[in-house]
Amino acid sequence: MRDRGSAFLMAPALAWLAGLMVVPCALVLALAFFRRGLYGGIDWTFTLENLALVFDPLYGGILLNSARIAGLVALIAAVAGYAAAFAIVSRPRHWQPVLLFLAVLPFWSNYLIRTYAWIVLLNREGLIVQAARWLGRDGALPQMLYTEGAVIAGLVYAYLPFVILACYAPLSRLPRDLAEASRDLGGSGFTTFRRITLPLTLPGLAVGAVFVFVLSVGNFVTPALLGGGQFQMVGTLVYAQFLTAGDWPFGAALAMVLMAVMMLLLVAQTWVAERGTGGRRDA
């Protein structure tokens, strides 16, 4: 009886998810295996050309470049976020929730607006240029907006709070006496960090870094706004296939590769997490 009631309650939502998520996603993945029609439509003949095209030097290069940028973003955000979380944890206990809240607060404001803030900061008449001028640095500064650097800064800015949050939890839960035990046994501060603190909090850091990578590699808003019209990443490429070039099958193939990379990373991250806790089981 309980299970029948349960099925009745779940049915509408599951139907919604099936109809508007599973079917469309399956459809778009299937599109990757068909030809592009002459006038933007779809020609229903099976082909692997689209997937091959993804790894063609031109598009493969964009894919690699996206991965490189996302990797850099994940690395910077991981280092800065971990350092920030570490700094928060080393403040007195009653300060920590306040600091954490402040660190995560920007995450709650609109993504477009957070990205826009960097346009305000980096444009030709932006604050950084003004500040440089005020400091007496005359002459033209190098272009800052519409560069790869701007995209990286924007992505780090967008996702840093996430990493801080992911690192804070394990750091604050780590018993203080473990680090003390290491010091007591002769470990320096750095050795203690490298051999005790870092390995025990690595799963949190891995979660943070992987999510930042995944969110960055397929990102479309930030490269479009901070990278300028010519700047291409996988996200902007997918966007272009669907909304301007009209090559849906190729766009679908790109999305498929993106999903595959994402899945792989999430699995790897789960693996790190399990290894980090040493497959903890009660004796």
Return the residues of window 74-133 that contact other proteins according to CB under 8 A. Answer: 80, 83-84, 86-88, 90-91, 99, 102-103, 105-106, 108-121, 123, 125-127, 130
Sign of the Cα pseudo-torsion (219, 222, 224, 229, in order): negative
Nearer to other proteins, 68 or 191 (CB): 191
Residue closer to other proteins (CB basis): 139 or 190: 190
CA pair distance 263, 34, nearest whole angstrom? 23
Using rule CB under 8 A, residue 239 touches other proteins: yes
In contact, 222 and 202? CB cutoff 8 Å: no
Binding test (CB under 8 A) with other proteins, winner from 141, 183, 268, 274: 183
Task: Identify which of residues 148 and 259 has a Cβ nearer to other proteins in the complex.
Answer: 259
- Residue 269: strand, helix, or coil: helix
- Select from 47-55, 60-68, 135-143, 171-179 the region that touches other proteins (CB under 8 A): 171-179
Residue 2 or 57: the one with the smaller Cβ distance to other proteins is: 2
Residue 150 CB partners (closer than 8 Å, separation 6+): 118, 122, 144, 226, 227
Q: Which stretch binds other proteins (CB under 8 A): 49-57, 64-72, 135-143, 170-178?
A: 170-178
Q: Reduce the secondary structure of 61-124 to three states and give it as a string.
A: HHHHHHHHHHHHHHHHHHHHHHHHHHHHHCCCHHHHHHHHHHHHHHHHCCHHHHHHHHHHHHCC
Torsion angle in degrees (nearest 10) through CA of 20, 25, 30, 33: 140
In the complex, least distance from residue 93 CB atom to other proteins, rounded to whole angstroms = 13
Least distance from C-beta 224 to other proteins, angstroms? Answer: 8
- Nearest residue (CB) to other proteins, 33 versus 248: 248
Instruction: Work out whether 143 is an interface residue with other proteins (CB under 8 A).
Output: no
Output DSSP code: residue 126: S
Q: Compute the least distance from the CB of residue 114 to other proteins, in Å.
A: 7
Q: Which stretch binds other proteins (CB under 8 A): 17-25, 47-55, 57-65, 66-74?
A: 17-25
Min CB(69)–other proteins separation in Å = 16
Tokens of 266: 């999430």
Q: What is the DSSP string of 178-216?
A: HHHHHHHTT--HHHHIIIIIHHHHHHHHHHHHHHHHHHH
Question: Under the criterion CB under 8 A, does residue 193 sit at the interface with other proteins?
Answer: no
CB of 17 to other proteins, least distance (A): 5
